[in-house]
Structure formats: structure tokens, C-alpha cells
Amino acid sequence: MLDIRLIRNDSQAVKDGLARRGESTDVIDRLVDLDSQLRQLTGERDSLRAEIRRVSNEVGQMFRDNNREAATELQEMSRQLGAEEHALDDKADALETELRSALLRVPNLPAIDCPDGASENDNVVVRTENFDADSYGDHQKVPHWEIGEALGILDVERAVRMSGSMFVMYRKMGATLARALCQLALDRNADLYEEVRPPTLVKTSTLEATGHLPKFAEEAYQIERDDLWTIPTAEVPLTSLARDEILSESDLPMRFCAHTSCFRREAGSAGKDTRGLLRVHEFDKVEILAYSTPEQASAMHAEILGRAEAIISELGLAYRVLDLCAGDIGNSAARTFDIEVYAPGADKWLEVSSVSWFSDYQARRANLRYRSSDGKGTTILHTLNGSALAVPRVWAAIVETYRQPDGAIRIPELLLPYMRGATEITAP
């Protein structure tokens, strides 16, 4: 969440940042008012507490002086002050809850160098690699859902029968390919990133920490009986790994990598293309995430982007990197680069990784702090993350790109060590 001190001291800068996102700024005036009321009420409560302590000390002294009648009268006054203090405390707690609830709904401010723009149409294409629209043959211009069905490696029909629409099932070498992609991404990041296998179910507070709640409650699956949620990405548990802890500056940056299943309701997918693997409720993904100091954040952002991009490039896929504009970055992000692969059969650019810097927005919600090397106080750290590899759309792009004239799929060289000796996927 945003620092209330920033809103208090420079509300216009906050409004300007929200306006760049296309967000209403009315909430900022409300936050300023709530903050003012809370500080006034807290001041009155603290003054009353000081008066209660003074009266209590005076009562004690009167009893020691054997002045019981006066002490008893003063005790009654102390009890009345205590009741007033309790009422003020309740009001302060209610205001604090209201203030936090409102803060949780305010998105992060875009970074200064985040491009201006209102929608995805204003995103900046930084570079395009390996793409030549005229280089694809007719055999590659077949959508992956048709290829998968013909080869028996993607079974959408039975998955829908089991679980409903927008669920899929990989079979035979299709399942092997999905697993190979995850293992590749884990191996490629094992040099610097600690592998973690976090829980797939998390508390409400854990989803709040990343900004997925309360804004995106409709996109998440909730297990109401246990007050748990399935994770939409490993970013969620990894962000809270050091929640409420104080780290040492010398330990930063800290890097983590996790392979998990991810679950998304895709409640806003009405009218969008949901065929095959373009948009699914459950998928596997390898996520990389870092904690850093503010000074380390820019280099870490570039590092995570470079790692995600390198895998896509070495898989031989056509891709492009987008610098997302202020109107299209995620709710919690300050700056985001997307990697999109080209799928010739679907004839679409498919987002396969969002690499984001969140400044201190998520860390403030999760209470992630570090103690500076000079030992003077603690500082909110910064979080960054990106998909090292998300299976469905990369799988789709590989199947379409590497389809041969005879209908077989050639396995990219980078994946051969993970395919149990297979070099291609053929019809049964």
C-alpha cells in the first residue's frame, strides 16, 4: 500500500500518479480526512491516558498519606476518565480500520519512467526478436488445440468433462513437454535463486500482501470453510516468505524461485478467446522473485527480465518485449515489462511473462523490512518478480512453431535433455 505519510504530505503528487493510471483521485481527499481525524483522536486519547496516569499516581499518594476520602473521590474521577478513554480507543480503532481498508484499495503509483498511456494500445514495443511473418509455412499455421488433439497430447474434452470449461489436460508427450518446461526454468535459475515449494493454499492476509485482495477477489478461488485461497501465482506466498521479519541489508538482494500450480477464475474473460490454452483456470508456472533495497531494484528488474527473456529466446520462439504504459500496469506494479511470444497457428501474440517492480507497495502490506548496515532503524524493502516460464502459452507456441510438414512436432534443442530421449512428437 502507499505510505500514508506521502498522502498526508504530498497528496497532489499521489493524485497525479493515480491520474496517470486513469484512476479516480477522490479517494485521496477521503484518506487525508480520515488520517487527520485519526491523528486528532489519537492525540486526544493519548492526552487522556496521560491524565489518567497522573490521577492514578495522585490517588496512590493520597492513600499513602491516609487521605482516604479524597482518594476515593479521585478514584471515581479516574474511572470516568477511563470510560472516556475506552470510548476514544474504540473510535480510534474503527477509524484505523476504515483508513487501512481504504488504503488497501488504492493502487501503486507508476514509476517516473513508466510510459504514459491509457490502455494496452499505448504499450511500447521495446524490441521484437526472431519474428518474420513470412517465414511460417502453412503447416505451422494450425492452432495448437487442433494439433494437440490430432497427436493425442492435449485432451480438452475429457478435462471439461471432469472439471468444467477452461480446464485442460496434457497427455503422453504433451504432459512430458509441460513438465520439461518447468524443469528447464528451475534449472536455469538454480545458480542464484533459492528453490522453494510454497503452499498452494494461503490466508486472506497473504493475498492482501501482494495486492490481489481486495481488488481481485472475483478472480480468485476461495475455500470459505477454511478461510483459505488458492494461489493465482507463486508470487503470493513468496512475497510473504519473510513477512513480519527484519532482514539484514547485507542479505539483500534475496532471490527465490518456485514451481507451483496456479489457479485463476478468469471472471473477466467474457468475450475473449478461450480456446485451447489461451486462457485456462489452472496451469503450472515457475516464478522468480526478489527482495531488494531501493538502490538495488533497477538492476534486479533488469536481471529478472533478462532471465525470463533468455529462456524464450533459446527456445527459438518469436517474441517481443513491451514496456507497459501507466494505464495498463498491474494494480501493485510501479513498472512492468511483458514478454509475448508469437503463436503462428493462433496468429496471436501471447503474454508469457510479466516482469514487475512493485517499489515498497507490496512490502509495506506484508511488513517486509531490513535493518541498514549502519544499524540505524529499519526500512521497507522492495519486491520484484516475473514468470521464469508459464507453461500453457509457451507450450502452445512451441507446438505451433515446431510443427513439421508431416504433422510431427520437433522438440527444441534446449528441451532435449528433459524429454526422455525423444526428439519429436508424432501421432500414435
pLDDT in tens, 387-397: 999 999 999 99
- Give residue 113's pLDDT: 97
pLDDT at 39: 95
The length of the chain, given as a count of residues:
428
Tell me the pLDDT band of 241, cut-offs 50, 70 and 90: very high
Across 290-296, average pLDDT: 98
Averaged pLDDT, 31-59: 89
Average pLDDT over residues 165-169: 96
The mean pLDDT of 4-29, rounded to a whole number, is 97
Banded pLDDT at 74 (limits 50, 70, 90): confident
Return the pLDDT at 289: 98
Residue 334 pLDDT: 98
Instruction: Work out the end-to-end distance of the chain between its first and last CA atoms, rounded to an integer number of angstroms.
Output: 53
Query: Own/partner pairs for 147-150, CB < 8 Å, 24+ apart?
Result: 147/345, 147/399, 147/400, 147/403, 147/407, 147/409, 148/174, 148/276, 148/399, 150/407, 150/427
pLDDT recorded at residue 55:
78
Residue matched to cell numbers 478468469? 266
Closest CA to 269 of 166, 120, 351: 166
Identity at 78, one-letter amino acid code: S
Q: How many other C-beta atoms lie within 10 A of the C-beta of residue 402?
A: 19
Q: Count how many Cα atoms sit within 13 Å of the Cα of residue 155 in the half-sphere of its side chain.
A: 13
pTM reported for the whole predicted model? 0.93
pLDDT digits (tens, 9 = 90+) for 396-410: 999 999 999 999 999
pLDDT band at 59 (very low <50, low <70, confident <90, very high): confident
Q: Do 70 and 295 contact (CB within 8 A), yes or no?
A: no
Mean pLDDT for the chain? 95
Q: What pLDDT, on a 0 to 100 scale, did the predictor assign at position 198?
A: 98
Amino acid 182: pLDDT: 98
The percentage of residues in the chain with a pLDDT greater than 90, rounded to a whole number, is 86
Q: Is the model's pLDDT at 69 over the cut of 80?
A: no
β-sheet bridge partners, residue 260: 285
Ranked by mean pLDDT, which of 45-49, 213-217, 260-264 comes out on top? 260-264
Give the pLDDT score at 373: 86
Q: Which domains are delineated in the chain?
A: 4-104 (1.10.287.40), 120-425 (3.30.930.10)
Residue 57: pLDDT band with limits 50, 70, 90: confident
Q: What is the per-residue pLDDT for 314?
A: 98
**pLDDT class for 272, splitting at 50, 70, 90?**
confident
In this predicted structure, the answer to whether residue 259 has a pLDDT above a threshold of 80 is yes
pLDDT at 64: 76
Mean pLDDT for 84-110 is 94
pLDDT tier at 63 (50, 70, 90 boundaries)? confident
